[in-house]
Amino acid sequence: MEIASATYIEEKLKAPVPVESCRFHFPLLRRQVNGKPLVYFDNAATSQKPQVVIDAIMRYYHEENSNIHRGVHYLSTKATEAYEEARLKVQRFINARSIEEVIYVRGTTEAINLVATTYGRKNVSEGDEVLISAMEHHSNIVPWQMLCEERKATMHIIPMNDAGELLLDEYEQLLGERTKIVCLAHISNALGTINPIKRMIAAAHAKGIPVLIDGAQAMPHMRVDMQDLDCDFYAFSSHKMFGPTGVGVLYGKKELLNAMPPYQGGGDMIKSVTFEKTTYNDLPYKFEAGTPNIEGAIGLGAAIDYMKGMDLTAVAAYEHELLTYAAAKLLEIPGLRIIGTAKEKASVISFVLEGIHPHDIGTILDYEGIAIRTGHHCAQPVMQRFGVPATARASFAFYNTKEEVDVLVKAIYKVKEVLG
């Protein structure tokens, strides 16, 4: 299977490698499910892991396992070096100004909660406003609801049109004197919409308002540059971008992070402790209390090494080609409706099938070896906006193929035959 738009460039070879070769790097993609070759279209929930990531985690436990930072022995030194080297890889990959701006967290959800709890409590007061969009994941809604309830502030919502695109004129009108922070998804997990966040960040900054971006769905699909975007906070998860679960990153501008109080108390986030007073550690450690997910950070570093071997422009072009092909094929199916038809979309297709519940679609597709996601996708307000209780969602990565899309389409016809 030769794909013209090659997506991976091996460091050693320095030559394009077709998609089929990329797939070979992901051992799980070679397995069968229910006697059928696995078709993995649940990448928006989590991505599969290349062998280099699996090997990095195995190597850590085989050769370096030890706690970091405080030990003077050989293993602790090696583990600390690997952990901090991964942080440096993150900093360079997202073009943050320094490693002090890279905070390890458990994932996007914890990153947003950290900002809501620390920056929010310090800067949001009674009568103030927090601005989010109508297409946010619950993780970018609930922490701000909790903050607004605690601080007696108000949460306003940027509306979207029937295609799933934010209404930018209304957004700019909502930016007011009492707006203390804007919180936006870079890419909608439920619709696939790519929001024009650079423009939206600039509009907020013009009024002195900081912006947090939920980048969980963007990181696996495009190059993200913190200095170019000029966002104040950017949150993402390792497991969406081919790394392990349980680790993620909060990027924050150094001046903002320095002014924020710690998120949690404990070891590693302090310089000194007496019963009378604690002196907090410098960035980034001020926000990293307790023993962290060491192997997770090292695995994230390996995932970044893998992604750096890819031509991300070619990845985006290939995934767009796959998305366009899949949308056209799916729309040929009678009774199928795609939810979210924005002009700028990433590799997500949410759809409903007339008269058939999404859970039933997912169940029958699973019999065919196809993994998709069904439900509200942690975006219940999006479902309410489009008048559906749930959708079926197929989400793609660069290792998926048009042949797999054809398998999906054929299986949906089978769903209609069984349940229609």
Catalytic residue positions, numbered = 378
Q: How far is CA 215 from the centre of its chain?
A: 5
List the alpha helices (DSSP H) in 37-156: 51-59, 74-94, 108-115, 121-123, 142-151
Residue 148, amino acid: C
CA distance 242 to 47: 5
CB 39 within 8 A of CB 404: yes
User: Using DSSP, how many helices (H) and how many strands (E) does the chain show?
Assistant: 15, 19
Burial, 360: exposed, middle or buried (Cβ in 10 Å; 0-12, 13-18, 19+)? middle
Residue 157, amino acid: I
Q: Would you list the DSSP string of 178-238?
A: TEEEEEEESB-TTT-BB--HHHHHHHHHTTT--EEEE-TTTTTTS---HHHHT-SEEEEEG
